[in-house]
Amino acid sequence: MKSLLELDQFDLESASKQQVAEVVQALLEQVKNAAVELQSKDEKIQALTYELAYLRRIRYGVKSETFSQLQADLFAETWNEDVAAVEAELEQLAEQQPVVTAEKPKRPRAGRQPLPAHLPRIDFRHEPDSCQCGQCGRELSKIREDVTEQLDVVPAVFTVHRHIRPQYACKNCETITAAPIPAAVINGGMAAVGLLVWVLISKYVDHLPLYRLEQIAARQQVVLSRSTLADWVGRLGVALQPLVDRLTWHLLQGNTLHADETPVAQLDPGRGKTKKAFLWAYRSNDLQPGPRIIVFDYRNGRGGAHCRQFLGAWQGHLMVDDYSGYKASFNAKKTEEPCIELGCWTHARRKFFDLYKANQSPMAKEALVRIGQLYAIEEEGKDLSCAARKQLRAEKSQPVLNDLHDWLTKVRVRTANGGASAKAMDYTLRRWASFIRYAETGHLPIDNNVVENCIRPIALGKKNWLFAGSERAGQRAAAIQTLLGTAKLNGLNPEEWLKDTLEKLPTWPNSRIDELLPLTPAMIEKLK
The region of weakest confidence among 88-102, 228-242, 385-399, 423-437 is 88-102
CB-based contacts of 210: which residues, under 8 Å, 6+ apart?
A: 199, 203, 226, 229, 230, 233
- Compute the 3-state secondary structure of the chain and give helix, strand, coil in percent, each to the nearest 5: 55, 10, 35
Chain segment 176-215, per-residue pLDDT in tens? 888 888 888 888 778 899 999 999 999 888 888 888 999 9
pLDDT of residue 509: 92
Per-residue pLDDT, averaged over 7-26, amounts to 66
Using DSSP, state whether 168 is helix, strand or coil: strand
Residue 296's closest CA among 75, 488, 76, 454? 454
Q: What's the pLDDT band for 37 if we cut at 50, 70, 90?
A: confident
| 284, 251 Cβ separation under 8 angstroms | yes
Helix pair 449-465, 471-489: axis angle to 10 deg: 130
Q: H-helix or E-strand containing 267?
A: strand 256-268
Domain ranges across the chain: 1-10+25-60, 193-238, 241-521
Phi-psi region of 491 (alpha: psi -120 to 50; beta: other; left: phi over 0): left
Q: Which amino acid, residue 44?
A: K
Q: Which amino acid, residue 380?
A: E
pLDDT of residue 10: 55
CB-based contacts of 500: which residues, under 8 Å, 6+ apart?
A: none
Residue 519's closest CA among 284, 339, 331, 344? 284
pLDDT at 65 over 50: no
How far, in Å, CA of 439 to CA of 469, rounded? 44
| 148, 136 Cβ separation under 8 angstroms | no
pLDDT of residue 54: 59
Q: Quick one: what percent of the chain has pLDDT higher than 90?
A: 32
pLDDT of residue 234: 83
The region of weakest confidence among 1-5, 22-26, 148-152 is 1-5
- 294 φ/ψ angles, rounded to the nearest 5 degrees: -125, 125
Chain segment 291-348, per-residue pLDDT in tens? 899 999 888 777 777 788 888 888 899 998 876 667 666 765 444 557 888 999 999 9
Q: Is the pTM of this model over 0.75?
A: no
Average per-residue pLDDT for the chain: 80
Q: H-helix or E-strand containing 298?
A: strand 294-299
How far, in Å, CA of 244 to CA of 250, rounded? 10
Q: Is 116 exposed, middle or buried (0-12, 13-18, 19+ CB in 10 A)?
A: exposed
Chain segment 451-467, per-residue pLDDT in tens? 988 887 776 666 555 45
In DSSP terms, 294 is beta-bridged to: 283
In DSSP terms, 284 is beta-bridged to: 257
Q: Is 181 exposed, middle or buried (0-12, 13-18, 19+ CB in 10 A)?
A: exposed
pLDDT of residue 58: 57
How far, in Å, CA of 293 to CA of 177, rounded? 47
Residue 298 CA, chain-centre distance (Å), reads 22
Per-residue pLDDT, averaged over 252-276, amounts to 76
| 407, 395 Cβ separation under 8 angstroms | no
Map 421-459 to HEC letters: HHHHHHHHHHCHHHHCHHHHCCCCCCCCHHHHHHHHHHH
Instruction: Select the highest-mean-pLDDT range: 22-26, 63-67, 259-263, 502-506.
Output: 502-506
pLDDT of residue 146: 84
| 488, 494 Cβ separation under 8 angstroms | yes
Residue 268's closest CA among 462, 474, 470, 466? 470
- 175 φ/ψ angles, rounded to the nearest 5 degrees: -120, 155
Q: Quick one: what percent of the chain has pLDDT higher than 70?
A: 77
